[in-house]
Amino acid sequence: MDKLQQLYNDTFPADKDTGQKSGEGNNEGMLLTASSYVQGAIDWITGEDIARERREKKKAKKTEKKRREKETKKVQANQRAAAVEEQETIERMKDDEQARRAFQDQLARQQEEIREEYYSGLKGLWRRKRGKEPPELATLPTVEQLMEKRRAKIEAEKKKGKNGRKNSVSRSGRKQSVFDDLRKSLGLT
């Protein structure tokens, strides 16, 4: 602090008439001003201000690099999350497709079982009426074919102007009508 005081005394000499230093009422402010001048001079001499600028630039560069890396990571994380979500959606769709296929297979099996059960009941009737063995089940029309045939028949009746069957036929009614067609195809009616 002695050197700083000496510099201050040299910078602000005492007034010859009054013996007071200029700005003596604000010694602290003057000291700060003088110290900043001195610091600036020391920095300039030692090249500290240039080094500080370099450090600040380097720090700014690092900060910018970190910010860009953070943004890149955020974007990548969002892309990964979107990819995972898309994959989950695809998996769900596959599962839904598998479930739909399984349901359709189960429905087809059930229809086939009903057809076989009904056919086994018709075998005895066939034997009693005809006195011979009935044809194999595989040669008979399927439920879908019979239903399609029945729909075509109903549509034809509607076109002719006859009162077609009501659309509100229950499922069991439709099955029964299909089995009526099966009876007819076997010649049992």
- List, as one string, the DSSP characters of 147-187: HHHHHHHHHHHHHHTS-PPPS---HHHHHHHHHHHHHHHHT
| Nearest in space to 1 (alpha carbons), one of 25, 27, 20 | 27
pLDDT digit string (tens) for 9-35? 776 666 555 555 555 555 555 566 777
Of the chain, the percentage scoring pLDDT greater than 70 comes to: 65
Give the SS3 label for residue 14. Answer: strand
Residue 93 has pLDDT above 70, yes or no: yes
What average pLDDT does the chain have?
A: 74
Q: What are phi and psi of 14, to 5 degrees?
A: -70, 145
Q: Which two tokens stand for residue 103?
A: 């349901």
* CA Rg value for the chain: 51
Q: Rounded to an integer, what distance in angstroms lies between the CA atom of residue 27 and that of residue 80?
A: 64
Cα separation of the two ends of the chain? 127
Query: How far from chain centre, in Å, is Cα 175?
Result: 43
Mean pLDDT computed over 30-41: 70
Give the SS3 label for residue 136. Answer: coil
What confidence category does residue 175 fall into, taking pLDDT thresholds of 50, 70 and 90? low
Q: Considering the entire predicted model, what is its pTM?
A: 0.29
pLDDT digit string (tens) for 48-57? 777 788 889 9
pLDDT digit string (tens) for 94-134? 888 888 888 888 888 888 888 777 777 777 777 777 777 76
Residue identified by tokens 């969002």 is 78
What confidence category does residue 67 fall into, taking pLDDT thresholds of 50, 70 and 90? very high
